[in-house]
Structures are given as C-alpha cells and as structure tokens.
Structure 1
Amino acid sequence: MKTKKWSVLIIVMAMLTAMLSACGGDKNKENNASQTPAPSSSNAKPSGEKVELNMLIAESILGGIQDQLIEQFESSHPNIKVKVESIPDGSIFDTLRIRISSGEVPDLYQVNIGHVTTQMADQAGYLADLTDMEAMKGYAESVKNASTVNGKIANFSMGVGVLGLPYDKAALAAAGYSEPPKTWEELMALGKKMKDSGKDLLVYSSKWETGIGNVFHWAFGAQAIKDPAFKEAYLANKVDWSIPENRAVLQQGFERFKELNQYVRTGSFTNEYSIAQQAFTSGESAMVLGGTWEAGTYRGLNADLDLGFMNLPYMDEAANPYIFVPEDGLALNAQSKHIEEAKTFLNWLFGEAGNYVQVQKAKGNMSAITGVGELDASYSDVPNWLNTDRVVSFANTGPIPSPTWIALGQAAQQYTFDGKLDSAINKFIKAYDGTKSK
C-alpha cells in the first residue's frame, strides 16, 4: 500500500479552530450552569491497588484491535485490568443515553464532540476535563479547541474526518469512468449503468441514527458557500425556512435524496455499517457512504481493492462543499472511582509511547496527533480539499441538533416512498422550529 507521511494536520489547524467554535459556541454557553466534579490532579499517581476499568466503545473506533491493545497495556500495568464493552457502531449513542440516564457510566466511554449525548454527559457531571493530561500535549491547539465542550477538552479525538464516498476504482473504470463523477448528472448516469449491470451504485451509511439524511450535508453546505446570510443563520441554528430561497434548498435536497435512492442498495438504511462495508468490498456496490476514518477496514476486508475516495458531487466542483467532521474519541468519567488509573491508560494510548499509531494504522484514518502515522493513499487529495474556503462542518454535530437531523432523515424517507414533497418538507420544518435557537 502506498502512503504519504502525515503532514495534513498542519494545513487544517487554523481552519478547524474557527469552524468548530462557530458551530459549538451557542451550545457551550448554554451549558455553563453544569457542575462537573473536577478530577484529581493529572500529576497524581495510581494507587497501586488492583483495579478494573470499564470502557464502552463502538466496535470500529479502535480499528478492531482493542483486545490487542488491552493485552499490551495490562502486561505493562499488572495492577490495572481494562474490561471493554464493544458494541455495534449503530448502537453506541443509544447505549450511552441509557447509561447516562441510569447513572451507569463507565470509567471510559466513546463520545462525538457535537452529539447530544456529550452534552447530556456534561450536564450530568460525567465529562472530565482532559486539558492537563500529559498525552494531550501531542494534540495541536486547534484540535484541542475542536474537542472542547463547556470550556474543557472533552475527549481524545481519533482523527480529523471528512465525509465522502470511498469507491472502487476498478468498478468505475468498468463503467467507463477513468475518474470519479464530477457532477450530479454524471453520478446519476453512473448509477444507471451500475443498475443495468445488476449492481448498486452505493451502499448507504446504514442504521446510524444520523446517517440517513447525509445528502443534506451537501445541500446545506452548498447554500452556505454562496449565501452568507444563510450560512450565518445555519451555523446559529436559526434558519427561517419560510423564505422561498431557503425552502428551495430543502426541495432540492429532498429531490436529490430520492433520485440517489433509486441506486442505493436495498436494506442500506437498516443494516449495521459493517454489513455495508462488506457489501462494498465484495464488489456488490461501487461506493459506500463513509469518511476518512476507515481505509484500514476496507483494505483488511479486501487487500486487492483499488480504493479511492471522492466528494459527493452535489454541485458542480467549483461550488461544491467539503464536509468536515471531527472523529469520535475517548472521554473520561469525571465521577470514576479510578480516575488516576483511567488517566494512566489514556496517557499510555495517546502519549509519547506511540501506541496510538497502532490504532491509526489499523483504522487507516487521518491522524489526530501531529506527526504521528501515515496518510492512506486513497486520501491523497483530501489535504487540498481542506485547504479551500469551501469546508463546511458536519451538520448534525454542529448547526443542527441530532434529534432534528433524525427527523430530517425520516422525512426524506417518507418522500422517497410516498412522493409527497411539501408534506415531507413541512415535517422537517416543524421539527427544526421546535429546536431552533432563540
């Protein structure tokens, strides 16, 4: 596998800082009243007693090598045992909601910095501040800022993410495409060719609660690029959808969602993402909706796959947005009975010892730590994307609350099946207005 040495993070540092602060500022202000117990000093040492840490993660966040990592850690830290609860990716946030509500939050757990469950964990006092952690020194300032909730660094992010379409270069070449489609019309023409040959164009992002409406990241992003007033309202969660130009954005998004759906693999909306990945790597589809955090998985499933990565051509290339999304990361329970032991594990995984590089290699993602790891060849164009003024944040972890995003996906499916466009649009607007910032 051809790779390039990792230097991408330096390119995007300033951009991420501005973008994430714009998306998360209002939410963080709302949470100033939360009272999180302060963890003990990061300079304190573990007690030396034998303890067991509990960690809740989705099965892909550590690249599937969690057992290997835990074995290595425990061999050098015999007094600390780490019990990992690894669950399917599509279930992580539902599970976390339950644990927060029941007060059964583990010592370490997976969060997405903009997801509603992270805000829930903070308000309930379960989100520790990782600012003074030794391992956090390896993260650039902009990544720290991008990982901040209510004034504290909330997690060790696994990587810098960009939403897009991993694709099979050989499948596209067989359909007459020497490079990925550059326009929506070219993408639809490819979809028809694939369908006529008995294959699917795309496997969707499956049962992720926020995955169904992913086309709208580009719909909203494209409008934000060309309309400063919309961008300001969008980032502040204050869009007036009664304005004809804004309603037209929704109309186009719903129509393109339906058009694309005729070439999406049946069952994509309800399968686990691992099934979608397997369908893609086995040649059943030409593309899969994903991001720059999983090349290692695809190469592990099919070492012969000629893997590429493309932006969804929602608009013509010069006007098309690039969708940024910070990867999920590991958070520390501020109420853990084993704070120092949990910190020991986090410092071991993300610190100078370089254990994080094992995760980065297994995932094939874009590294979160400056100078660590290598960039997968399929992502070679992504640094150039990020060095433009067309980067827009992932909608449902910034401008639009997750419940509203879920309602958008449900409304889009409704339109796909019943064809009632105005009804679907109005359903989303009602949900949006219910969670709109004042």
Structure 2
Amino acid sequence: MKRTAVLTLGLALLGTLGNTLAQKTTLTIESWRNDDLKIWRDSIIPAFEKKYPNIHVNFQPLAPTEYNAVLDTKLKGGTAGDLITCRPFDKSLELYKAKQLDSLNDLPGIKNFDAVAKAAWSTDDGKTTFCVPMASVIHGFLYDKAVFKELGLKEPKTEAEFLALLNKVKAGGKYAPLVMGTKDQWESATMGYQNIGPTVWRGETGRKGLISGSAQYNKGGFLAAFQSLAKWKPFLPQGYQALAYPDAQNLFAQGRGAVYPAGSWDIGTFRGMNPKLDLGAFPPYSIAGQKCVIDDHPDIGMGINSASKNKEAARTFLNWVASDEFAQLYANALPGFFPLANVKYTVKDPVAQQFLSWRSQCGKSFRSSYQILSRNDNPNNENDLWNASAQLLNGTLTPQAAADLVQKNLASWYAPQKGK
C-alpha cells in the first residue's frame, strides 16, 4: 500500500512538472509596422514557435503615426509589450535613457552586427546597444530594362557615363531621363543628395566629421555632392517642380521613364503597381574616381521593455532575430528591407539581390543628418537638407548657396560646428 501511495504521489508530481514545462510564455511585440501583420502571423512567428514551442508570440502593431504617443502611454502605464520595435536614433535613445529599454551588450547575438549597423540603436559614444538591428534600406537607382534595351544603354559606373546616358535618353525625346519630382522636397535629399553623396564625402569619415566638427556641409565632399546633384536638373521630367512622390512612382511604373533614383523600399511598390515592369538596378556611380559608398540606412530594430516579466524568453527571441534563419525569412517576406546581421542569407527577388550585393562591392554609411545633427527643432538639419536640395534642383539656389544655407543653420545651434 505504501509503495502504491508513493508511486501515485510520484506520478502526480511528474504530471504537475510536465504541465509546468508545457506552459507557454507569451511575448507581445509592440510595432508601428501594421503593414507587416500578415507576414509576422503567417511566416515569421510560426517559424520561431516551431523552434521554440514553449514561447508564444503576439505581434501587436499600431498605426505608424500613432506609435510613438501610444507606446509612451503604455510604457508609463505599465501595459506595454515585452518587445519594443525600435525606430532608429533619437526616439529609441530617449527610451533607453528613460530606463525603458534594456542594454543588450551581453546578448550573444549582438556580435553579429558591426558598428555601422548598431549606430542607430546605440548611445552616442557607441558603448551601449539597446535594440537588435533588424533591417535597413539601401539607396541606388532603378531603371527600366525595356527602355535601356530599346535605346542601347548600359548601366553607368561613373558620373560621366551617367550624364551621357541621360543625355541620350533626353535626345530621343520619348522618355523622361530621370524620374523624380521636387514638390515633396524629401526625395531631393533622400534619393538625390544622400544617394550620391556618401561616395564623395567618403562615407563614415565624412558623416562622423560633421558630428565632430572636422567637416562642413559647405566644403569638401559635402559641397561636391551638391555640385553633382545640380547636374540632374536638365534631365528631370517636364513640370517636375509640381511632381509629388506618388506621381513620380506612377510615371515610372507606367514605363514612361528610364532611370528612377530609388530606395530599395520602392522595389515592392513597383512589383505591386506593374508586375510586368522589367526592373534593373545600379549602385551610386563613382564621382571623381572615388569608390562607391552606399547609403545602407537603418530602418527598424527591436529591444526589450525594461519592465517585462518575460525577459529570458524575450532574449531568446532577439537572439533568433540576430540569426541567419530570421534574416532569410525577413529579407524574402519584405523585398527591399535587408537584415543587418553579418550572416549568410539569399534574396529571391533578383532586384533586391542586386541592391544587397552592393554591400560587398561598396563601402557603407547612412544619411548624414540622422545621428545627433537633427536634434534641434528649428532649424533642423534633415529639413534643411530637404529644402536646400529641392531649391537646388528647382534652380533657385546654387550648389554653394545650398551648402552655405545648411551649414549656417547647423552652426547656429550645434556647438562643434559653431564658427565654422
């Protein structure tokens, strides 16, 4: 009888232990990417849960415009999820400084990211990283292969070849050589100045020089970038001053243009707008013999809510986000958004793969105004670059005047640039 009782008690204890082990930890992810909901639910989360069956993941997106305010309210009220999707640079840095995001320096997977990848989610001194870099977007040029074939054009490698190509398209009169408008201003800087600029200001050397005060917008490579951008003006579509971003996308998607200054995020857009459009891509061209440097701009990361009660499970998830398995899934679910981990993965979309291949061909940096330099509201360095680049292409500012405007405004508030 005693043996039977002990056996019964032992089986009961084992059953209780089994139930405990079988219980799932639920992780909730806060995100602004509500357009990604289906991808997370159908592809990313099932792959993780298959590998880690005791962790359940709930992806909880908000509208992009509401994310910052709602997230702040949730964090202050103690109702935010375990994992916080991180916007690049200052917003996420504010969360870390407020002790709402954990340091991830001791996360094993963080070693898969280099300093450029981590910069958008690290302290100013680079010593502490608080979000795992998930993906970036890459700048370059898309082109219509059918137009290139018709006109006998080749992908340009130098500025001279690029301008000669645009002249040939213009002479034909049938297509817009370079499809971009200036109405919304941001494209002039983002797909213009920040696209070709890193090559002439030598990427990270120039970008960090602005932060330290050793480089200025109206000298050297930063001035040269304005000078090169001004050469685009004769090749923009008729009435480009009134052309908004969606208008330019429509014009190119309809096969009415040859070259489109792009971000890789445009790949998916054009696939949806016109599946028959035969896209090609080439990287920023060499200027004055300089080796190409791409704008590999950080877009999205993920960190741990410091108030989370499920930190071990959250760390497990973030280590997986740093893996080649996640990189493979994410890169193919969202063509044009590229994982930042130094792991091996392949991209099925051929144009997205072209953009990705530039990482091994060119140096890499990111937009000059995004780290530290746009912390002032008015004047704001990012907004100044939009305005100056658009005015330059509209012909209302010379390259020197555009550069002087941006430099003067930066020097008006940013101490390392004062008096320069």
The two structures share one fold, judged by TM-score above 0.5:
yes
- The separation in 1 between residues aligned to 2:221 and 2:45, in whole angstroms, is 53
- The separation in 1 between residues aligned to 2:183 and 2:360, in whole angstroms, is 26
Aligned pairs for 1:115-264 (under 5 A) are 115-133=89-107, 135-136=109-110, 139=112, 149-150=122-123, 151-159=127-135, 162-180=138-156, 182=158, 183=160, 184-189=162-167, 192=170, 196-197=173-174, 199=176, 201-203=178-180, 212-217=189-194, 220-225=197-202, 233-234=209-210, 236-240=212-216, 248-249=223-224, 252=227, 255-256=230-231, 258-259=233-234, 261-262=236-237
In structure 1, what residue type is equivalent to 2:306? Q
Which runs of 5 or more residues in structure 2 are unaligned? 1-19
Aligned pairs for 1:302-321 (under 5 A) are 302-313=274-285, 315=287, 318-319=289-290, 321=292
Q: Number of residues paired by the alignment?
A: 376
Aligned counterpart in structure 1 of residue 293 of structure 2, from 298, 316, 322: 322
In structure 2, what residue type is equivalent to 1:405? E
Provide the residue aligned with 2:8 in structure 1.
Answer: none
Q: Is the 8 A contact 1:128 1:333 kept in 2?
A: yes
The C-alpha deviation readout for 1:104-127, integer Å capped at 9, x for no partner, is 5853444354x3323333333333
Distance 1:423 1:324, change over 3 A: closer
Provide the residue aligned with 2:61 in structure 1.
Answer: 85
Highest RCO, 1 vs 2 (Cα 8 Å, sep ≥ 6): 1
Instruction: Give the Å deviation of 1:149.
Output: 0.6
Aligned pairs for 1:8-407 (under 5 A) are 53-58=28-33, 65-69=39-43, 72=46, 80=56, 82-85=58-61, 87=63, 92=64, 95=66, 97-99=68-70, 104=75, 106-107=80-81, 108-113=83-88, 115-133=89-107, 135-136=109-110, 139=112, 149-150=122-123, 151-159=127-135, 162-180=138-156, 182=158, 183=160, 184-189=162-167, 192=170, 196-197=173-174, 199=176, 201-203=178-180, 212-217=189-194, 220-225=197-202, 233-234=209-210, 236-240=212-216, 248-249=223-224, 252=227, 255-256=230-231, 258-259=233-234, 261-262=236-237, 269-271=244-246, 280-292=252-264, 295=267, 298-299=270-271, 302-313=274-285, 315=287, 318-319=289-290, 321-340=292-311, 342-347=314-319, 349-351=321-323, 354-365=325-336, 366-369=338-341, 370-374=343-347, 376-378=349-351, 379-380=353-354, 383=357, 386-387=360-361, 391-398=364-371, 400-401=373-374, 403-407=380-384
The C-alpha deviation readout for 1:205-236, integer Å capped at 9, x for no partner, is 9969687444223564344349x8x6773363
The SS at the match of 1:178 is: coil
Q: Is the 8 A contact 1:100 1:121 kept in 2?
A: no
In structure 2, what residue type is equivalent to 1:319? Q
The C-alpha deviation readout for 1:34-73, integer Å capped at 9, x for no partner, is xxxxxxxxxxx9995775724213356x596233236626
Distance 1:261 1:168, change over 3 A: closer
The SS at the match of 2:141 is: strand
Which runs of 5 or more residues in structure 1 are unaligned? 1-44
Distance 1:415 1:327, change over 3 A: closer
- The separation in 2 between residues aligned to 1:103 and 1:262, in whole angstroms, is 46
Q: Is the 8 A contact 2:184 2:244 kept in 1?
A: yes
Q: Is the 8 A contact 1:159 1:367 kept in 2?
A: yes
Aligned counterpart in structure 1 of residue 389 of structure 2, from 399, 402, 412: 412
- The separation in 2 between residues aligned to 1:206 and 1:56, in whole angstroms, is 30
The C-alpha deviation readout for 1:240-285, integer Å capped at 9, x for no partner, is 4566x678537525634644544696766454xxx86665444344
The C-alpha deviation readout for 1:77-124, integer Å capped at 9, x for no partner, is 68745243254xxxx4x65554566565853444354x3323333333
Distance 1:233 1:360, change over 3 A: closer
In structure 2, what residue type is equivalent to 1:56? S
The SS at the match of 2:285 is: coil
Calculate the TM-score normalised by the size of structure 1: 0.65
- The separation in 1 between residues aligned to 2:218 and 2:277, in whole angstroms, is 46
- The separation in 1 between residues aligned to 2:407 and 2:180, in whole angstroms, is 28
In structure 1, what residue type is equivalent to 2:32? I
Q: Between Structure 1 and Structure 2, whose CA radius of gyration is higher?
A: 2
What RMSD in Å do the two structures reach over aligned CA positions? 4.6
Provide the residue aligned with 1:39 in structure 2.
Answer: none
